[in-house]
């Protein structure tokens, strides 16, 4: 069996773009001799469609696109597309077997994720029927994403009367003898996270599924960034049906890949090559998500306020990796308080990256604000207000340049500062995308050093890496005046945020954990207005930590 695996990067709502890409891929696979083609989950509509599912017209247009595409396909193909349902959601997440120019069979997603970034359970009604297709003598089982992530032991599968899960169905007596499956195919959109198990591992999910049902599994995973979520590709064919003779072939990670897998010739177990590669993978994920957000929004250029510090330096470096230097503009906005090195470091960075660079001093604006406010502030001491004015002057300048030049402002905040609200709303939080909002400060340093190491030269200036982090909003200010040293701070945050530990469950830091947890609680409102940014970790704020605001959160 020669299967064309079309690991493509789809666009949400762009039926025409997606259909064209599917058609071109099928033509390519036809030339390569593939028996049929497989595409990721919801390939016609893109994924996730969220509440677009509530628009019947959206679902109908997706179906139109599918049915218009079908007669053009030169080979059979498995294509995902939302469909109408008469259940409470009005929509299903479906997969179609297209053969001879028409829909020949279909199935719906049964197990609907409702955790982290995904809420299929909100938008789709669960499937009721299973589907296996006969083609050229092969018996091909068809499933969608989550359907294979539960073998037989999960509570969510209780509603199946006869089977504890779709996998149990496909391993039941119905598929014995001459009805035995030849392969189980899964079209998927699996959310990347640095903490995810690699399903391609020996002993990983795909192996367990293959072993359970006694036939090979082909997992066609989505590639691309869509708002907060990243799909990493790395599609795989895994055969663990014979103990000791496991086979595996994989597609590339973090890029589109079109590959014809000849199931008769897969011999080695390639899976290990696609293990999680730590910071390398995180870097690839960051670049992919930024590129896709900007391009899928149709934006030409991005704009970054360069402070001379590490966060904005990393964001600028990522932007150049994602978009090329011509599409990136850096702006330094020194105040009277800014140290000389901050502009120098910003300029060095811009030179290293080869990007357009401007210097726009903010003192005139800050002084005008202070004059304007002096009657109403009369007699009150200077405090954090004046620090925020500087940050908001910068935010407004960046937004003005953004408006005038049509460039998207990138927000440079990291996960550590965002945790405790060490940022100014409408100041440094301005922007349409926040590329590193799910990286702790210690990770910001690691990824920055990785970029320099891979380039073999200083992209991010050494001084930026070496100097003590500072917001430079008052003279001689250092982050560590307000925050614990970042290695300790991040260690506490990882337990409190990523592992949902309360302060009193975090040992070894005395009263510091409590103080950090209290600050995290008080900054909740800032996070509700934070720009979108990619989920990298197990617990990103926007997708995995949906918290009340008007609440007593200091108890955590």
- Restricting to residues 286-305, name those near a copy of itself by CB under 8 A: 292-293, 296-297
Structure tokens belonging to residue 124: 């789709």
Which of 176, 179, 403, 462 is in the footprint of a copy of itself by CB under 8 A? 403
Q: Is 441 a catalytic residue?
A: no
Q: Rounded to whole angstroms, how far apart are CA atoms 150 and 112?
A: 11
Q: Taking contact as CB under 8 A, which single stretch among the options 162-170, 209-217, 261-269, 521-529 is the one that binds a copy of itself? A: 521-529
**Nearest distance from residue 401's CB to a copy of itself, in Å?**
6
Q: Is 41 a catalytic residue?
A: yes
Contact between 511 and a copy of itself (CB under 8 A)?
Answer: no
Which of 367, 480, 481, 487 is in the footprint of a copy of itself by CB under 8 A? 367
**Nearest distance from residue 123's CB to a copy of itself, in Å?**
9
CB 15 within 8 A of CB 44: yes
Helix axes 512-522, 486-493, angle to 10 degrees: 70
Q: Rounded to whole angstroms, how far apart are CA atoms 492 and 505?
A: 11
Structure tokens belonging to residue 206: 């795909």
Would you say 244 or 548 has its CB closer to a copy of itself? 548
Which of 136, 162, 404, 457 is in the footprint of a copy of itself by CB under 8 A? 404
Among the listed residues 21, 26, 81, 109, the single catalytic one is 109
**Nearest distance from residue 228's CB to a copy of itself, in Å?**
9
Contact between 388 and a copy of itself (CB under 8 A)?
Answer: yes
**Nearest distance from residue 259's CB to a copy of itself, in Å?**
26
**Nearest distance from residue 78's CB to a copy of itself, in Å?**
23
Q: 3-state SS of 266-298?
A: CCCEHHHHHCCCCHHHHHHHHHHHHHHHHHHCC
x-or-dash string of contact with a copy of itself, 70-109, rule CB under 8 A: -----------------xx---------------------
- Restricting to residues 28-47, name those near a copy of itself by CB under 8 A: 46
**Nearest distance from residue 405's CB to a copy of itself, in Å?**
9
Residue 51 CB burial class (10 angstroms; 0-12, 13-18, ≥19): exposed
Q: Rounded to whole angstroms, how far apart are CA atoms 534 and 359?
A: 29
Would you say 105 or 145 has its CB closer to a copy of itself? 145
**Nearest distance from residue 114's CB to a copy of itself, in Å?**
5
Q: Is 356 a catalytic residue?
A: no
Would you say 227 or 345 has its CB closer to a copy of itself? 227
Interstrand relation of 2-7 and 36-38 (parallel, antiparallel or unpaired): parallel
Among the listed residues 26, 81, 145, 437, the single catalytic one is 145
Q: Rounded to whole angstroms, how far apart are CA atoms 533 and 322?
A: 15
Would you say 126 or 234 has its CB closer to a copy of itself? 126
* Cα torsion through 405, 426, 330, 408, rounded to 10: -40
- Restricting to residues 429-458, name those near a copy of itself by CB under 8 A: 430, 432
Q: Taking contact as CB under 8 A, which single stretch among the options 138-146, 310-318, 377-385, 448-456 is the one that binds a copy of itself? A: 377-385
Q: Taking contact as CB under 8 A, which single stretch among the options 24-32, 310-318, 374-382, 443-451 is the one that binds a copy of itself? A: 374-382
Q: How many residues comprise the chain?
A: 556
Would you say 75 or 503 has its CB closer to a copy of itself? 503
Among the listed residues 41, 387, 417, 443, the single catalytic one is 41
Report DSSP state, residue 510: T
**Nearest distance from residue 115's CB to a copy of itself, in Å?**
6
CB 484 within 8 A of CB 512: yes
- Restricting to residues 105-164, name those near a copy of itself by CB under 8 A: 114-115, 119, 121-122, 125, 154-156, 158-159
- Restricting to residues 12-31, name those near a copy of itself by CB under 8 A: 12-15, 17
**Nearest distance from residue 195's CB to a copy of itself, in Å?**
15
Q: How far apart are the two ends of the chain, measured CA to CA in Å?
A: 55
Residue 468 Cα distances to 330, 376, 463, 476, angstroms: 22, 36, 9, 11
Q: Taking contact as CB under 8 A, which single stretch among the options 52-60, 94-102, 194-202, 266-274 is the one that binds a copy of itself? A: 52-60
Opening angle at CA 271, ends 282 and 207, nearest 5: 115
Element (H, E) at 17: helix 15-31
Q: Taking contact as CB under 8 A, which single stretch among the options 28-36, 257-265, 437-445, 545-553 is the one that binds a copy of itself? A: 545-553
CA-based R_g, the chain, Å: 26
Which of 96, 440, 445, 530 is in the footprint of a copy of itself by CB under 8 A? 530
- Restricting to residues 189-248, name those near a copy of itself by CB under 8 A: 225-227
Structure tokens belonging to residue 68: 């218009």
Report DSSP state, residue 233: B
Q: Rounded to whole angstroms, how far apart are CA atoms 438 and 376?
A: 39
Size of the site for a copy of itself (CB under 8 A): 96
Please name the residues in contact with 170: beta carbons below 8 A apart, sequence gap of 6 or more.
130, 132, 141, 143, 181, 184, 213
Contact between 57 and a copy of itself (CB under 8 A)?
Answer: yes
**Nearest distance from residue 177's CB to a copy of itself, in Å?**
31
Neighbours of 364 (CB within 10 A): 9
Would you say 59 or 240 has its CB closer to a copy of itself? 59
Helices marked H in 128-236:
166-170, 205-213
Structure tokens belonging to residue 246: 């496991």
CB 76 within 8 A of CB 38: no
Helices marked H in 357-440:
363-377, 384-405, 415-420
Would you say 446 or 501 has its CB closer to a copy of itself? 501
Q: Which residues belong to the active site?
A: 41, 109, 145
């Amino acid at each position: 069996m020669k299967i064309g695996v079309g690991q493509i990067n789809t666009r949400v709502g762009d039926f025409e773009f997606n259909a064209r890409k599917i058609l071109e891929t099928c033509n390519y696979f036809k030339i390569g001799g593939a028996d049929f083609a497989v595409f990721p989950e919801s390939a016609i509509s893109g994924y996730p469609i969220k509440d677009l599912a509530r628009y019947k017209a959206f679902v109908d247009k997706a179906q139109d696109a599918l049915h218009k595409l079908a007669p053009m396909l030169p080979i059979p193909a498995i294509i995902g597309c939302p469909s109408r349902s008469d259940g409470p959601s009005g929509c299903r997440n479906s997969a179609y077997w297209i053969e001879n120019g028409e829909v020949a069979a279909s199935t719906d997603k049964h197990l609907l994720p409702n955790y982290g970034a995904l809420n299929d359970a909100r938008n789709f009604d669960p499937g009721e029927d299973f589907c296996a297709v006969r083609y050229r003598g092969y018996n091909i089982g068809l499933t969608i994403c989550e359907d294979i992530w539960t073998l037989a032991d999960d509570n969510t599968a209780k509603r199946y009367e006869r089977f504890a899960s779709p996998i149990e169905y496909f391993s039941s007596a119905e598929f014995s003898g001459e009805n035995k499956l030849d392969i189980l195919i899964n079209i998927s959109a699996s959310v990347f996270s640095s903490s995810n198990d690699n399903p391609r591992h020996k002993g990983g999910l795909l192996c367990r599924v293959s072993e359970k049902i006694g036939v090979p599994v082909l997992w066609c995973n989505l590639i691309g960034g869509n708002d907060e979520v990243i799909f990493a590709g790395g599609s795989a064919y895994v055969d663990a049906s014979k103990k000791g003779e496991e086979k595996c072939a994989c597609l590339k990670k973090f890029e589109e890949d079109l590959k014809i897998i000849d199931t008769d010739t897969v011999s080695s177990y390639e899976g290990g090559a696609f293990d999680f590669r730590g910071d390398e993978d995180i870097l690839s994920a960051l670049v992919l998500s930024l590129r896709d957000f900007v391009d899928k929004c149709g934006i030409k250029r991005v704009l970054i306020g360069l402070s001379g510090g590490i966060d904005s330096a990393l964001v600028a470096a990522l932007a150049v990796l994602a978009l090329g230097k011509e599409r990136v503009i850096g702006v330094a906005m020194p105040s009277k308080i800014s140290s000389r090195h901050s502009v120098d470091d910003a300029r060095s960075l811009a030179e290293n990256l080869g990007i357009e660079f401007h210097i726009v001093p903010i003192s005139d604006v800050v002084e005008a604000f202070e004059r304007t406010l002096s009657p109403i502030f009369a007699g009150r001491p200077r405090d954090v207000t004046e620090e925020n004015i500087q940050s908001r002057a910068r935010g407004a300048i960046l937004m003005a340049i953004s408006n005038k030049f049509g460039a998207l402002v990138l927000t440079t905040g990291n996960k550590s500062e965002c945790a405790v609200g060490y940022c100014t709303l409408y100041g440094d939080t301005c922007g349409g995308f926040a590329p590193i909002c799910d990286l702790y400060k210690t990770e910001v340093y690691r990824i920055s050093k990785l970029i320099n190491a891979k380039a073999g030269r200083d992209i991010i200036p050494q001084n930026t890496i070496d100097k003590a982090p500072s917001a430079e909003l008052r003279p001689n200010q250092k982050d560590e005046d307000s925050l614990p040293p970042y290695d300790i701070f991040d260690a506490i945050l990882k337990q409190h945020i990523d592992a949902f530990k309360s302060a009193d469950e975090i040992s070894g830091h005395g009263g510091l954990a409590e103080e950090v947890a209290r600050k995290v609680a008080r900054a909740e409102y800032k996070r509700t207005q934070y720009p979108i940014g990619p989920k990298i970790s197990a617990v990103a704020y926007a997708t995995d930590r949906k918290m009340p605001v008007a609440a007593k959160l200091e108890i955590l």
